[in-house]
Structure 1
Amino acid sequence: MDVEIIESAGELINVYDIEPCRYHKRGLEKSNRFYQAKIDSRYMKSGERDFTKLPNLYIITILPYDPFGENYMMYQIINQCLEVPGLEYKDGLRYIYFNTTGKKGGSPAIRELLQYFQNSTETNARSERLQRIHEHVKKVKVLPEVREEFMRLDDIIYYEREEADQNRAVQDILELLEDCGEVSEELKNKIKVQTDKKTLRRWHKLAARAESLEEFKTKM
């Protein structure tokens, strides 16, 4: 599902870049910012000064985890004015994060689609649209260039080690906090989505010293 879709009507109007991400990625937001800049540079000719020709860009990331810990199926991010929240800022950029484990928001169609992304089997291709996608996926999978690994072995090892380290750190923090009482799902989610190693180390020390969950939440 690593796809770039170009929509045009004489002139280029919209570009949709869809990218699945199997692993917890550190700095996900800044990674997408860098990725967006690379895409934009492809659609502006060298020396071009008419920036109205730059298409609207939708960066769509599909994740098997919740990137923000709020349990939504879908997060849409746009730039806005802090002083005037309702002010329309027409930069044509939107980030969309799909969380295949989310429960809130979205729609029945989005929920069905995310279930298919999480487990892309014929059984989960329940609607006619998903059946068409599944047929296309089966055809693409047998192409020689697709059968090869997209990621180099060292990339796979790196991300798996990063994910394992993060999971271990999160589990250690939660085990310490459970000594203070029952940890809420909201607090668990906030800890689980944290990918910064320094922050996790600080939270680990805080969890070891905290005498209550309220003290931990206040100081975290």
Structure 2
Amino acid sequence: MKSQDIVLLLKLVSLAQSEKALKAGELPTRAKKALPDWQDWEVESEQNSLDLEPHWSRHELHERFITEQYGVRALEKSTGISRTQISLALKRCYAVGLAKPEHSTGTPRVNSKALFEFLVYGLRYVFPAAAGAVTRGISTSLGAPVLEGKLMTAGELLPVWPDARGNTKGVSVEPLYKSVTYAVRQDQQLYALLALTDALRLGQPRERKLAESQLYALMRKEVSPWHKSQFM
């Protein structure tokens, strides 16, 4: 397993949650508009978006979403991971049971229960992280919006992924993969998932426990038909 595999799996979790929103009649872009303060960077004029027409039926919206978001080319665009690396990552994930292709469409589906267990119990040993020098970047771990204000002390420098567009000065943490800061600017849910993952890699027992509970709450929303009741 390589670190980009984790980034890709979490992106697939985020996409599955957007599918759920579509099936409920909600356009994926609405969640982003409802949370205007989730970005910890200078907002760019262009971000990846799905070209959906509100007058389409739910079935049409869902089919378009599957077609436009799950292809290797689309995943490359949304994550910054090359198509070759995405294909190899999927093969590795299929081989170890962390994902499988959907029988009817070939859409990659994550085994969320297995992924959650690996993130909580194995990730910090396979892909450890440590705080580095002070720099400017995008806040992660306990400094990210998903955990903002929890367990931090006044004046403490926040962990950040080094990035010239970031808004926060803090201690640098190398992201799981080199394109993480690009990928999270496209997807607020992926940002939250990766920030919580960093809290599991970096934190002390109390911080890891908090991150585990928050990650559980986010990942149980994923409704892959492969494991509908896995977090119930």
TM range (shorter): under 0.3
TM-score after normalising by structure 2 = 0.24
Structure ranking higher in strand proportion: 1
Higher relative contact order (CA 8 A, sep 6+): 2
TM-score after normalising by structure 1 = 0.25
The structure with the largest alpha-carbon Rg is: 1
